[in-house]
Amino acid sequence: MTFKTEPFVVNAGPQHPSTHGLFRMRFTLDGEVIQDVEPVFGYLHRGIEKLAEGLNYTQDIVFTDRMDYLTSMSNNQAYVLAVEKLAGIQVPERAEYLRVIMTELMRISSHLMTVGFLLNELGAFMTPLLYMFREREKILDLFEMVCGQRLTYNYLRIGGVSQDIPEEFLPALKRYIDSLPGFIAEYDQLLAENEILLMRTKNIGILKRETAINCSVSGPVLRASGVNWDIRKADPYSIYDRFDFDVPVGSVGDIYDRYRMRIEEMHQSIRIIKQAMAQMPSGEIQSKVPRVLRPPKGEAYGHIEAPKGELGFYLVSDGSTNPYRFHVRPSSFINLQVLRELMTGVKIADAIVIFGSIDICLGEVDR
């Protein structure tokens, strides 16, 4: 006697606790094993690229805040970098140091969230996430001190930053940076030796080196697969060539390696911030930029190592006040290309964790 069987199609999302926003995955299941996965995008599409073409260069900074809302500072940085390349604007030293400090803080904040959500998806009921939120909260307080905002900072300006830091910022930052390694080490110790965590993450969701390169994956996900590619080193922008830091590289490319990359990168970010604080000069924070910016005709691509990967802005100017073309190379979206590769053949529980380990933000995927 034979049974008639058919594949079992399950929709995870767009409303699902683990999709980090409005993302939908159509799983084709054989029991618990995923045979195929079809990602469905676009639920959060706001047309940012087109909207940005209707406003001038300075006004567009606001849109970049709202792409990946967990790493607003880094988005600002990538965009202003592209505009500065396009218009040939020099940035004062002090502003560069401020930018570095802010984007590295943003990286720590983003990685804290990633690790917290990853553990939440592993089933550690909220506890790690709330501890990570506690640390992130202090970073938000620092940002609030600088620019008065807690989520969409809009702090960087073309040719500088919007305002100088208050007097009490550097001591507060120093206190925080000194306390952070202890926190990370304590937490890492609690988690990295947990047998359940190890058996849920080791050798699962392996992203092969070749696949990662072919799919143009970037950021911690790429480095976990053993590729030493960090734009801060490979194509140094801003003043990153002045700092001494390491690029952590994984060996296996499984979920555990991706988790480790984030922990290590937080330590490296702390190193960079410490050096930046020590070297910070006084002086101007904003170079002379015309109030109405009309870059010469041409095109420019500015890219940075955002917390989630390579974030690039490709701008085409026709000589007017608005960009003729405003294109984003979103790290989250491109990292998602390996989704089917990674998820085919694993169990549902693993698929959710793999998704979490890639670390995407739907605001950036859909724009």
Partner 1 sequence: MLSTFITNTNPNILYASALPPDWPGGFWSHMLIFIVILFVFVILGVMAFIYIERRVLGRFQIRIGPNRTGPFGIIQPVADTIKILIKEDIIPQNADGLLHLLAPAIAFIPTLMIFAVIPLQNGVALVDLNIGILYIVAISSVSVVGILMAGWASNNKYALISAMRVIAQVVSYEIPLALSIIGVVLLTGNLSMNSIVESQNIPFILLQPLGFIIYFIAALAEINRTPFDLLEAESEIVAGFNIEYSGIKFALFFLTEYAEALAISAIIATIYLGGWRGPLLPPILWFLIKMVAVFILIIWVRSTLPRIRIDQVMGFAWKFLLPLALINLLITGLQVITLPDLSQWVIVAINFVVTAVLILFWSKFYRLTGDKKVEV
The token duo for 171 is 């001591």
Cα 41 to Cα 365: distance, rounded to the nearest angstrom:
8
For position 6 contacting partner 1 by CB under 8 A, the verdict is no
The yes or no reply on residue 205 touching partner 1 (CB under 8 A) is no
In the set 56, 194, 286, 337, which binds partner 1 (CB under 8 A)?
194
How far from each other are the two terminal CA atoms of the chain, in whole angstroms? 52
Cα 173 → chain centroid = 21
Does 134 help bind partner 1 (rule: CB under 8 A)?
Answer: yes
Q: Does 350 bind partner 1 (CB under 8 A)?
A: yes
- Site size toward partner 1, by CB under 8 A: 44
Instruction: Please report whether residue 339 would count as binding partner 1 according to CB under 8 A.
Output: no
Assess contact for 21 and 363: CB atoms under 8 A: yes
Cβ atoms of 225 and 207 within 8 Å: the answer is yes
Is position 200 an interface residue for partner 1 (rule: CB under 8 A)? yes
Residue 314 identity (one-letter amino acid): Y
Could you tell me the smallest distance in angstroms from the CB atom of residue 195 to partner 1? Answer: 6
Q: In whole angstroms, give the CA distance from residue 230 to residue 3.
A: 53
Give the DSSP H/E element, type plus range, for residue 220: helix 220-224
Structure tokens, 36: 């195929």
Q: Which residue in the set 7, 10, 47, 279 belongs to the binding site for partner 1 (CB under 8 A)?
A: 10
Cis-peptide, bond into residue 171, ω within 30° of zero? no
Q: Is 83 exposed, middle or buried (0-12, 13-18, 19+ CB in 10 A)?
A: buried
Q: Does 196 bind partner 1 (CB under 8 A)?
A: yes
Q: Which of 26, 66, 208, 329 binds partner 1 (CB under 8 A)?
A: 208
Nearer to partner 1, 203 or 228 (CB): 203
Window 93 to 122, contacts with partner 1 (CB under 8 A) = 119-122
Q: Check binding of 328 to partner 1 (CB under 8 A).
A: no
Using rule CB under 8 A, residue 81 touches partner 1: no
Q: CB 40 → partner 1: shortest distance, Å?
A: 17
Binding region for partner 1 (CB under 8 A) = 8-10, 16-18, 29, 31-32, 119-127, 130-131, 134, 194-200, 202-203, 206, 208-209, 225-226, 251-254, 347-350, 352
